């Protein structure tokens, strides 16, 4: 199992390398592939794991047999925050005992359905609840740890500021009439 000091050493080396050569830090993230699985379901693919599924609640026409895409979004933000806290702790030499992050949001389905133009299609509010426990670390240090982790967590950052989303449409050739 990877140790806290090993993670800290790796992050320190990465910081030094990227400070010397900033261009090395810029890279395209691994793609996420979603493939329609009939009705409102999708299959998600990644080389490191078996496929996952999404579905919509039955009230919106789905079968309700898998988490919604919004749940995966919240799970991604929560896991990103856990990772960011663990990274910051490793760089500061803080030995963590427990990190739990619960991501919650409030949305208005009218925006997603396009029936209320004034309502955005995404979350109206988004919040994280962090439960943190560490060995021999002052509470002020833990508060600062979480504040810094929140400022540097990429997915939370994407929620805070506009990110350009381009759509590259590739139409498959159709057969028949």
* Same structural domain, 143 and 103: yes
Q: How many domains, in total, are found in the chain?
A: 2
166 belongs to a structural domain: no
* Same structural domain, 58 and 72: no
173 belongs to a structural domain: no
DSSP structural state of residue 175: -
* Same structural domain, 155 and 82: yes
Question: For 28-57, what is each residue's pLDDT tens digit?
Answer: 998 999 999 999 999 999 888 888 999 999
Strand runs (DSSP E) across the chain, as ranges?
A: 33-36, 42-46, 49-54, 95-106, 125-135
Question: For 71-93, what is each residue's pLDDT tens digit?
Answer: 999 999 999 999 999 999 999 99
- The counts of H helices and E strands in the chain are 5, 5
* Same structural domain, 39 and 104: no
19 belongs to a structural domain: no
The yes-or-no verdict on residue 171 having pLDDT over 80 is yes
* Same structural domain, 53 and 124: no
Question: For 8-21, what is each residue's pLDDT tens digit?
Answer: 899 999 999 999 99
20 belongs to a structural domain: no
User: Side by side, which strands form the sheet with 33-36?
Assistant: 33-36, 42-46, 49-54
> Quick count: other Cβ atoms within 10 Å of Cβ 154?
13
Q: Which domain holds residue 42?
A: 32-62
């Amino acid at each position: 199992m990877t140790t806290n000091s090993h993670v800290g050493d790796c992050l320190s080396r990465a910081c030094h390398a990227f400070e010397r050569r900033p261009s090395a830090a810029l890279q395209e993230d691994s793609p996420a592939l979603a493939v329609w699985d009939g009705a409102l379901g999708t299959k998600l693919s990644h080389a490191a794991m078996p496929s996952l599924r999404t579905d919509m609640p039955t009230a919106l026409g789905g079968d309700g047999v898998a988490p919604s895409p919004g749940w995966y979004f919240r799970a991604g933000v929560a896991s990103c925050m856990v990772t960011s806290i663990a990274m910051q702790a490793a760089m500061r030499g803080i030995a963590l005992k427990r990190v739990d992050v619960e991501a919650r949001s409030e949305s208005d389905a009218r925006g997603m359905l396009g029936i209320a133009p004034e309502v955005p299609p995404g979350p109206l509010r988004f919040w994280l609840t962090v439960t943190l426990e560490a060995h021999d670390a002052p509470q002020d240090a833990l508060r600062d740890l979480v504040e810094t982790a929140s400022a540097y967590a990429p997915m939370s950052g994407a929620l805070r500021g506009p990110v350009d989303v381009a759509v590259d449409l590739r139409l498959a050739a159709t057969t028949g009439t």
